[in-house]
Amino acid sequence: MRGVLLAVGLALLAGACGAVRRDQPAGSGATTGAAVVQRVVDGDTIVVKLQQRSEKVRFIGVDTPESVKPGTPVQCFALEASARTKVLLPAGTPVRLEGDVEQRDRYGRLLAYVYRDTDDLFVNLDLVQEGFAVPLTIPPNVAHAGEFAASAATARRTGVGLWSRCPAAAAPA
């Protein structure tokens, strides 16, 4: 009986710790909340104003061709992907950021699923559906991995975006 109570207590504590981590204020690393786009860096990275701070945000689960990575040439369809993100999220656009398990990447960027407030457009998914991005699943951030994979398969099969313009070897890894 004591072992069962201990296990239940530990499970509740673990759940509570997870909830606390996600509900932390933005200054302590949370990736959830309302924000306003300040600028687009490239196809899968934006800068937002989140609780009076500027934060660089990397879209979880997707990868667009590189257009601004130091030491990397501009990749096939990179300029188009960046331009599409600029159309979807011009400066001043209110967005909702939703996190997953990890809150920041190794470069200190917030990791988020990005939703446009005006119409609840799921930007990460839209970029994959339109062929501007490919799935990039990095566990433990896998909440939408299935959706991204299915959408990429459809985009590839129908030849939209980079799937019709770039050789397979040129697609983002």
Range with the poorest average pLDDT among 20-34, 45-59, 69-83: 20-34
Q: How confident is the model at residue 173 (pLDDT cuts 50, 70, 90)?
A: low
What was the pLDDT predicted at 3? 38
Query: For the chain, which residues make up each domain, given as ranges?
Result: 31-170
* Active-site residue set: 58, 66, 109
Domain 31-170 has CATH 2.40.50.90: yes
Q: How confident is the model at residue 6 (pLDDT cuts 50, 70, 90)?
A: very low
What was the pLDDT predicted at 96? 98
% the chain with pLDDT above 70? 79
What was the pLDDT predicted at 171? 57
Write the DSSP symbol of residue 109. -
> How much is the average pLDDT of 53-60?
97
Mean of the per-residue pLDDT values for the chain? 83
Encode 30-87 in three state secondary structure.
CCCEEEEEEEEEECCEEEEEECCEEEEEEECCEECCCCCCCCCCCCCCHHHHHHHHHH
Here the contacts of 155-159 (C-beta below 8 Å, separation 24 or greater) are 155/128, 155/129, 155/130, 155/131, 156/131, 159/131
Coil, helix or strand at residue 116? strand
